[in-house]
Amino acid sequence: MAKKDDNQFPQHIAEALNNIEELKLMGEHAKSILEAERLLFQDPNCVEALEEIADNYVSMDKYDKAEKACQHALKLNERSYTAKYILGFIHSQKQEWPKAISYLKSSNSLHSNNPEILRCLGWALFNSSKRTQGVVILERSLNLDPENALTLCDLGICYMQMKNFDKSVELLKKAMLLDPDNQRIKDCFAAASSFRDRFSGMRTKR
């Protein structure tokens, strides 16, 4: 998600949020949550601390706790696009597509042209049988962030399901170059390549 402007916070709040963010990026999720909870003790209305708690819990696959933090954040600020994005992501992970789309569309309306929000929205739309719309939004996300391996992978999977195997292989190959250790990308690339070769062989025999 987009980094928040430190100028909107008092210095001590901005410093605390930056420390929380740094711990999160280092994978120190428990420590990041603890620091966010300390900040909430000082300022119970700090929506950004709740957003950080939710984001950390998502990284720990603790979706129930993440959802509670997001709902608390929305009670304090119903325009928290980050909380709505996280809720959309959680429902997407649970394959609850209508709920995911509702939250992600709302998040996008509050914070447009964010490639991560658009990636998740496009994926949810594609998987809810709105394939064309989903691909269009995923392509838009990729245009905003061309080197995002996750977006490349999602698009590659979509094109594979639409039987455009050449396009799928092209996208997944680029994703694999950007993130060579990602097992999901490697598995999808292998599958797309196999489908392409099989399909090419069938056309040759005709």
Instruction: Give the separation between CA 110 and CA 1, rounded to whole angstroms.
Output: 13
Residue numbers of the chain with a pLDDT score lower than 50: 2-3, 5
Report pTM: 0.91
Full DSSP string of 162-182: TT-HHHHHHHHHHHHHH-TT-
Provide the pLDDT for residue 205: 54
Structure tokens given for 82: 């980050």
List b or e across 169-197, with b for residues whose CB sees 16 or more CB atoms inside 10 angstroms.
Answer: bbbbbbbbebbeebeebbebbebbeeebe
Provide the pLDDT for residue 9: 78
Instruction: Give the separation between CA 54 and CA 20, rounded to whole angstroms.
Output: 12
Provide the pLDDT for residue 2: 43
Structure tokens given for 11: 């210095």
Residue from 115, 35, 117, 43 nearest 80 by CA: 117
Instruction: Give the separation between CA 123 and CA 101, rounded to whole angstroms.
Output: 9
What is the average pLDDT score of the chain?
A: 94
39 and 46 Cβ atoms separated by less than 8 Å: yes
143 and 110 Cβ atoms separated by less than 8 Å: no
Provide the pLDDT for residue 7: 55
